[in-house]
Amino acid sequence: MSSRKVVIGSPVGLHARPAKLLVELAGRLPVPVKIGRDEDQLVDAGSILGVMALGVRGGEEVLLTADGEGAEEALSEVAELLARDLDSAEQPAG
């Protein structure tokens, strides 16, 4: 299993828009990705309800995990997305 920590770049955290972008990306990845504050609180990054229920705030560090072929690349993509300010008017690439 691969894991990585990332600080949330959106000032208001993983509310509706950033959570939607995360869920969309997670749905396109070749491996399932989980997100949470720690290993005991991981949820499926492809679940909008799970992600929003975490209540993650901007500047907070989260743990990402993935297992399987392509896990490291998947975590890199998710970490890059989450580190950006997803509340800006610009649409993220991807």
Catalytic annotation, residues: 15
Q: Within 10 A of 44 (CB to CB), how many other CB atoms are there?
A: 15
Cα–Cα distance, 86 to 61 (Å, whole number) = 16
Q: In this structure, what token pair is assigned to residue 35?
A: 């997100």
